[in-house]
Amino acid sequence: MTRALPRFPGRRTVLAAWLLLLLAALLQLLRTPFAADLSAFLPDRPEPRQQVLIEQLKSGLPSRLLLVGLEGGTAAERADASRRLAQALRAGGRFEQVSNGDTDGWRELGSWLFERRYTLSPAVTPARFTPEGLRDAIDESLSLLGTPAGQAIKPLLERDPTGETQRLAEAMIPPDAPRSEDGVWTSRDGRRAVLLATTRAEGADLDAQAATLAAVRSAFAALQAPALRLQLSGTPVFSVDSRSRIEYEVHLLAAVGLVLVVGLLGLAFASPRAILIAMLPVGTGVLAGIAVVGAVFGNVHGFTLGFGITLIGEAVDYAIYYLIQARRAPGEPAGRGWRAWLPPSSARSPTCRRRRRWRSATSWRGCTSATSPRRATRPCSARSAWCC
């Protein structure tokens, strides 16, 4: 007795629904941002100590400190380039602070300190303004006129006879200051001019950090100093380079995997049409998965794509299973191979459905293991999984 086949939607209906799904997924994909922020894996409700660590990782000074080095040329060329580069970076607005040892940028601060010298000086006490205290302070200032610092003290002597500005300056000098040459910081060997810059962008915002590094390179290129070389270091550089390397390796592995899969399918089926059929569910699944994640969570993390790539092989396997089972037998009309996927009428009972679940879980083991002649000769087909 011939079993009546179930009624399926028409091919045009299925094709139209599939195209609408792809169009909706593509529109969502264009609106979905891709993130690589590792702070997404940090605790949502951290403890106080954890909160301090998270803030330092996101926006702390170590995560935003950029070291800039200028090599090559003469010392005068490096010093001039250091001043011009620092001025350009300050004017660009991407840095909170740019320091290179040049004191020209401290003139406004020096005027502010001089106006408030008696308030800020650590030597100001009631005894400081007694006749004996004033005499001792003025004698100390006069004794410095014969030293190398006398040229800097002489213009201030009439307005600051007690030398409070000098004491403020001495308190601000760090114990281990960088080496200075021609008014700018240099490395210990004097072969490199050094600049320290603090970015405005948070350390976790890698896109903004990448734009900041590009701005530094553009500012250096505008100096037109072919004898000099730019070197960058610091957490922003490490973070951006790591992300770029990860993206490159992901793209490379994806391309290599795609070539291998297409090559294996070409050797197995020798048909461009079969390869296209095998790739359609993979592409549909990738678009649908990214669209759903983007719609639910607002963005797609790079790790999500990395783990998703590992499932491409599974998606290709289902297409291969279909292509193998859809091969028509000799004498069978074309386009009828899909009948092998339909369960026979005897497979509708509850007992058979329970057996079929167990057999579906173990059927592929029989396909790969031939420990008995019966297993070796049993056909591994989708229809055999329906048999009770």
Please report, to the nearest 10 degrees, the dihedral formed by the alpha carbons of residues 220, 221, 226, 231 taken in order.
40
Q: Does residue 209 surpass a pLDDT of 80?
A: yes
pLDDT exceeds cutoff 70 at 62: yes
Average pLDDT over residues 99-119: 76
Percent of the chain surpassing pLDDT 70: 77
Top mean pLDDT of 191-205, 310-324, 350-364 is at 191-205
> In this predicted structure, what is the pLDDT of residue 8?
57
Average pLDDT over residues 193-213: 90
Tens of pLDDT, residues 254-297: 788 778 878 887 887 777 887 887 788 888 888 888 899 889 98
| Beta strands at 34-35 and 300-301: parallel, antiparallel or unpaired | parallel
d(CA 259, CA 282): 14
pLDDT above 90 covers what percent of the chain? 17
Q: Is the pLDDT of residue 378 over 70?
A: no
How would residue 80 be classed by pLDDT, with cut points 50, 70 and 90? very high
Bridge partners of 184, per DSSP, are: 181
Structure tokens at 315: 């998606």
Lowest average pLDDT, out of 18-32, 87-101, 220-234, 240-254, goes to: 240-254
Give the pLDDT band (50/70/90) at residue 367. Answer: very low
Interacting residues of 275 by C-beta distance below 8 A, sequence separation 6+: 262, 265, 266, 269
pLDDT at 330: 60
- Report helix angle 11-31 to 272-297, nearest 10: 50
| φ and ψ at residue 43, rounded to 5 degrees | -60, 140
Predicted pLDDT at 67: 94
Q: How large is the average pLDDT for residues 206-230?
A: 92
For all residues of the chain together, what is the average pLDDT?
77
Instruction: Please tell me the distance from the alpha carbon of residue 283 to that of residue 152, in angstroms, as a whole number.
Output: 73
Which residues share a beta bridge with 68?
Answer: 195, 232
Per-residue confidence (pLDDT) for residue 376, from 0 to 100: 37
* pLDDT band at residue 101 using 50, 70 and 90 as cut-offs: confident
